[in-house]
Every structure is written in structure tokens, then in C-alpha cells.
Structure 1
């Protein structure tokens, strides 16, 4: 028994030594590489965060980061897909992508991702990789092909000086819209926030919620979505501009809200309102809430394409972003306000203090107040929903 224990201990430490050696080799290969990071560039705060940590990865690891700012991450995917089709498996122009579940599903389906890598990252030890929102992205299993970077949650935002009791379900939102015509709206799909609003309505109204976690079925679509369209048909006449026009984005909604033209706006970042209070864009009386039955939540991820030129540099960059310093920095509303993917209880007391000292601001809900998130429908439902919305309310696909 003693001999067996000694052998097992030896194997354990041998595995750790090999793991450390492998990562040291990755760091050695990464030094001097140029990493092209394709990520949404529409937020000055996020761009500033990426720039600062890009300088840090250069100083610590000798990796040069190039943030390629994009409006639509699906566009660089076209180049990756072309490279796959013609058999060009190296020297790609994209090393890391910040992607959503719909694009991850597309990349996984078409073989556009590199090998599984998340478990090889030293920083992954502080993340609960068994978390349901990390195991699956839009109900598609991640299999270590993308690394969790931050968390998202649909929240609604109001000014408590204007509203004392905001609507806490879609049905209550409808009643509020009838009583306060023109004071509510949502972004126009296929804008990400607009599509998220559609999915929230769908989850609150459908009689077939179990179907939504499975791949899209045309035979099931009408039955699953009939209550959604019935609800929107009733809601639209009471919306801003009588539902004949919709804001282009959540950012436009934020402006309408801050200008007093809307009573409620929305965000997929639970710290968003606090960040806007801090920088003076929102009044100090603005607050955040979720529906009583819960709201959609997910994790956003970083992926490495199959033909990345600087794979080692990409791994080092992602590992840095998942580290305690970068995650705590990102969580502060004065920086970005993006919730961490780290399981704080896994940290040392010293590292835990990095997160406990973060002031989340007056409008940020506690974890208990946010409650358990609703799961995203399977990624394959997104496009049919968007197409059907356009056809129904604009008569054509735009």
C-alpha cells in the first residue's frame, strides 16, 4: 500500500512538472510573436482595457498585441472559412477572436477552430469549467475550444425617481406600455441586444421551452414561436414611434433613456448602469433590475482559429486575460464592468481581496438579486428568429 501511494504521488508531481515544462515551452515560442486579436471595437472603455493589457503582455511575455477592431465578428470568419475551403491551414491573419455563441457554433460546425486548449492554461485552475454556461455556449458544447472571458446577463435599467415599481415580466411590460405609450422599445434585430430581447420574450411565452435547447427544427418553429409573435403584435402599437421604427442598437436606446424619451432601457452587462453613473452619462438615481422569472445569461469567450499564425502567443494572451489581475481590473465599472469568470472561492485570500475590493457601484445587483440565469436557446434558432421578425414587421429581409 505504501509503495502504491509513493508511486501515485510520484506520478502526480511528474504530471505537474510536465505541465509546467509544456507551458514554459509555450511561453518561449510566444516571445517575439505578433498576435492579431479581432474584437468588437465599439466601446472606448473596452478598447482602453485591451490596449493597457496589450502593453502588459508585451512587457511580461514579449508578445506584441494588435487589436483589430471590428463591428461584426462574423466578417473575419469569412476569411477563415475560405482558408479552410482551399486547404490553407497556416499563416492565417486572425490569431484570437472574441466571439458569441452563434459564431462559435458556426466555427465548430465548419471545423474552423484549432485544437482544444482551455485546460492547458495555467489560469484555468481558478475557473469552474463544469459551470453550465462554460460547458455550453448557446447550448453548443464548448469542449475546451474557446476560453471563457466574462459573463453577460440581460438586465433592464430604469430611473427610480421616475418609476417606483418597474415591470418584472414581459406581461407586466406589456401592461406598462399600454399605460405609458411611446415610453418603451427594444433594439431592432438582428442587432445582438434586439435578438436577445426576442429570445427573452420567447422564453417567457413559449409552451415548448424544452425544444429551444435542441437544434432548430422547422417543423417545430411555428408552434414554439406563435406566442412570441402574438405578444409582439400586441406590444408594438404601444412602443416608441408606435413600433414602426426601432433603435439601431442598445447604445441608441441608452441615449433615448438618458434624454428622458424612454422609461426603460436594457443591457447585457449587469454593471453597465453603474459605469454610466460613474462617468456622468446617467443620473445617480438610475438602477438595474431583472424579471422575477429570470433573464438570459451566458458567458462570452475567446477562440483560436485552426490556422492561427501565432498560436503560442494567442495562448499566452488568453492566459493573461483569464488571470486574477486582469479579471479583477475588468470587473470594475470604472474600467469596464465585465463580471469575472473566476470562481473567487478557489483563490488565495490575497487574490480574493482583489475582487472583494472592487466597488461595483450603486446600480449593480448582487448575485442573489440577479438569481439564476435563463439558458440561451440553441444557436441554430437565432437566424430563423431574426428572419421571421424581419419578414413579419418589415415585410422583407433587410
Structure 2
């Protein structure tokens, strides 16, 4: 899915750019190093239909702010198409391709995406690009310190999606109740044995519950490199055998002896706040800080990640192959990478979603947008980010977990 060789003259490029200004930028433009000014010109007046999860009032409010900014600065209108499952968007774009709807004929201009959904769209040729690494603000993305900005669940992004925010498996607890938090899954098992019934994790297929199981898999597997490849039936049972042995030991020590599991991280957070559970689990390192700021958790709550690292990933935005407003989608994606947008998104009073930028590399005025000291509840010392297993592991892990523990 790389661009073909550029055989057009400069004059032909300009003609294409002018024609694109009233609809979407010609796909070749973004894929052959076209000047950013031409993309901005083509984007002006476009409406970008951004299909994004709408389950959070904070997220929705943030996107309203983004819409106001890109309209004022670039003349691009942003319409938040509120969805509950990105997989539905993937199905829609696939159906459009099957119906022969080509470039400029789609209904989706930008989609919030990562993991299995990205892997599917990339594999099936449903994405526009590459475009991400040509965005002006991409130069500030922390690709060295945050390698998941270039690798999505072990699938190379290759410029087909633009990073938007970071996530990493994080634990939090009231330091008055748990002064010495566990630093590995093995230590978590030891804690559970000493405090039976006071630890749990969300029932799969809740995303955080699945992440808990994947973290245990990484820590129990003999050779973690095998997880970077899709599982095959012959290897799955062998590779995961230590995981099931670990969970078989852990579950009898959990809340309700592992016979029942909370439905989601919010339920666990409330049970932890009530003192029923010792610790909470999240994929947002700022969640406890958000809750402290909202006065739903006390300031004695601390967050941490395991000493040898925890699973982390990046969430992205991508443009479907047939977007009507591909130029506008790129302008929005570039704004989402700006220090202004990233700092606002990282602000726990707004969203509290960690930045993908290398803040130290920003110009001083832009760097000043980010706080220099961690707030109460934030992770004080970030641990290494362990790469997600290949997206192909998710379904078989969830199916086997459900078979063993879901009844």
C-alpha cells in the first residue's frame, strides 16, 4: 500500500489540486509529497465526517473544541459522527468498497482507530495514504520513546494512521491501604493470597480485562517474541499454557473466588473507592488523577506500572481510501498533533489523555503548555512500554478465557 511512481508534471499537479479544493484532495497528492499549503487549500470548505467513539462526555466536548479550532483556522467543518464500535465503521467502508464506491465517494473521512480494526483496514486496502509522517506536526511525535506510535498491536503503521494519544496498563490504589504495591503479576498473586477477595479484574471481553490477561501472558510466556506474530492453532495451546496455570492459581484468591467478575473498570474503581477492593486497573495513566481532581478519589491514591513494564499502545486517526474530504482529514489529523491540541487533551480538567509528543523537543512556548510536575494521582515514574501482542491474539484469548472462566 505504497504510492506509485509520480509521473505527473508540476502543472498537472496544480490542476489536480485546484480541482480537489471543492471536494476531496486527489489521493495521489497526499501520497507523493505534495506541499502542505496545497493540502490546506484543498481542505478549505470541506466537511470532515469524523467517526469516533462517543461514550465519554469529555471526549465529545473535546471534539467540539477541535471543531471550533479547525473551522476558525482552516475553514474545515468537523462533524463528529458518534459511534459505539469502530468495527461497525470498518464494515461500512468494506461494504462501500464491495459496492464499487471509489475515491471521493465514501461516507467516512476520518476514524478513531487502533488494534484489530486498523489491522483489518490495512490488510483489506481500506485506507488512504500513507499520509501521517508527512504531516507538519509529526516531527514532534516521540517515535523513539513511544515506539507504538509507529507500530499498532505489532502491525507497522507505515504512515496509514496518525497517532493521537497514548495508553498504558496502569494500576492505582490508596497508599494508606496498600503502601507496598505489587510490581509484577507474580507479586500480585502473592498479594491476592495474603488478602483474599480484595482483588479482581473486569470480565472479558472488556478491553481492560483483556489487557490484564495479555499482561499476564507476556509475563508468563517463555519467549515474548512469539507474541509479535499471529497465533496458529498448533502453538496457541503451548504458548498460553503457563497463562492458564497462572490464572488458575489467581482466580480462587479473587473477589467472589473468581466465580464472578466486575463488568468494567468503572465498577472496579467504585469498589476500590468503597474499600471493597485494594486496587483499580486502567489503561489511562491519568485516570486516578482525573478522579482525584473530580473529588471521587482521595489524594492519597497513587498510580504505578510494573517495574519491568506494562502493555501500552497508541490510538490513532485514519482516513478511509474513499474519503470525500481526504485533505480536510489530513488538516484535522495535523491539528490533533499540535502542541495546543495535545496539551489540552492531556489536561486532566479536559480529558487527561497522555500525549504522543516528545515534549522536550517542542519550542519553549509550546513546551510551556504542558505541566512540568506530575499532579496527585499521576504516575510518578513511567515504566517501559511493552508492545501489545499481535492483534490476532485477542479473539482466541477471549474465546479460551470465556470457555474456562466465563460460565
Q: Same fold (TM over 0.5)?
A: yes
CA contact (8 A) 2:306 2:383 kept: no
* 1:374 counterpart SS class: strand
- C-alpha spacing 1:329/1:219, structure 2 compared with 1 (3 Å): same
Kept in 1, the 8 Å contact 2:302–2:378? The answer is yes
SS of the counterpart of 1:334? coil
**Structure 1 residue 97 and structure 2 residue 111: aligned?**
yes
Give the drift of 1:21. Answer: 7.3
Q: Which of 104, 120, 126 pairs up with 1:112?
A: 126
Quote the offset at 1:241 in angstroms.
2.1
Match of 2:397 among 369, 385, 398: 385
Q: Deviations over 1:267-314 (max 9, x none)?
A: 111111111100111111111011122111121111111111211111
Residues 105-164 of structure 1 show CA distances to partners (whole Å, capped at 9, x for unaligned) of: 111111111121012211112224455212211111100000011111111010011111
Q: Which is worse superposed, 102-111 or 245-254?
A: 245-254
Residue in structure 2 matched with residue 33 of structure 1 by the alignment: 46
Give the 3-state SS of the residue equivalent to 2:130 in structure 1. Answer: coil
> Equivalents in 2 of 1:133, 1:80: separation in Å?
25
- 1:1-398 matches, within 5 Å, as 22-89=35-102, 90-129=104-143, 131-355=146-370, 357=371, 360-366=374-380, 369-394=381-406
SS at match of 1:354: coil
Q: Is the 8 A contact 1:333 1:361 kept in 2?
A: no
The answer on whether the counterparts of 1:328 and 1:354 sit within 8 Å (CA) in structure 2 is yes
Flag the 1:20–1:237 CA change in 2: closer, same or farther, 3 A: closer
Contact kept, 8 Å, 2:40 with 2:328, in 1: the verdict is yes
* Corresponding position of 1:14: none
Report how far residue 20 of structure 1 moved.
Answer: 10
The CA RMSD measured in Å over matched residues stands at: 1.7
- Structure 2 CA distance for aligned equivalents of residues 358 and 36 of structure 1: 35
Mapped partners of 1:50, 1:358: distance in 2:
25
Q: Which stretch of structure 1 is more off in the superposition, 82-91 or 269-278?
A: 82-91
Residue of structure 2 equivalent to 1:12 = none
TM-score, with normalisation over the residues of structure 1? 0.90
CA distance in 2, matches of 1:386, 1:352: 41
- Aligned equivalents of 2:250, 2:158: Cα separation in 1: 40
- Are 2:308 and 2:384, in contact at CA under 8 Å, matched by a contact in 1? no
Which one has the bigger helix percentage? 1
Unaligned runs of 5+ in 1: 1-18
Distance across 2 between alignment mates of 1:276 and 1:358? 20
The answer on whether the counterparts of 1:332 and 1:360 sit within 8 Å (CA) in structure 2 is no
Secondary structure in 2 matching 1:296:
strand
- What are the ranges of 5 or more consecutive residues in structure 2 without an aligned counterpart? 1-31
What is the deviation of 1:345? 2.9
For the residue of structure 1 that corresponds to 2:236, the secondary structure is helix
The answer to which of 339-348 and 279-288 deviates more is 339-348
Q: Give SS of 2:49's match.
A: strand
Find the aligned partners of 2:372 and 2:228 in 1 and give their Cα distance.
Answer: 35
Secondary structure of the corresponding residue to residue 370 of structure 1? coil
Shift of 1:353: 1.6
State the number of aligned residues: 374
What is the TM-score when the length of structure 2 is the normalising length?
Answer: 0.88
CA contact (8 A) 2:172 2:301 kept: yes
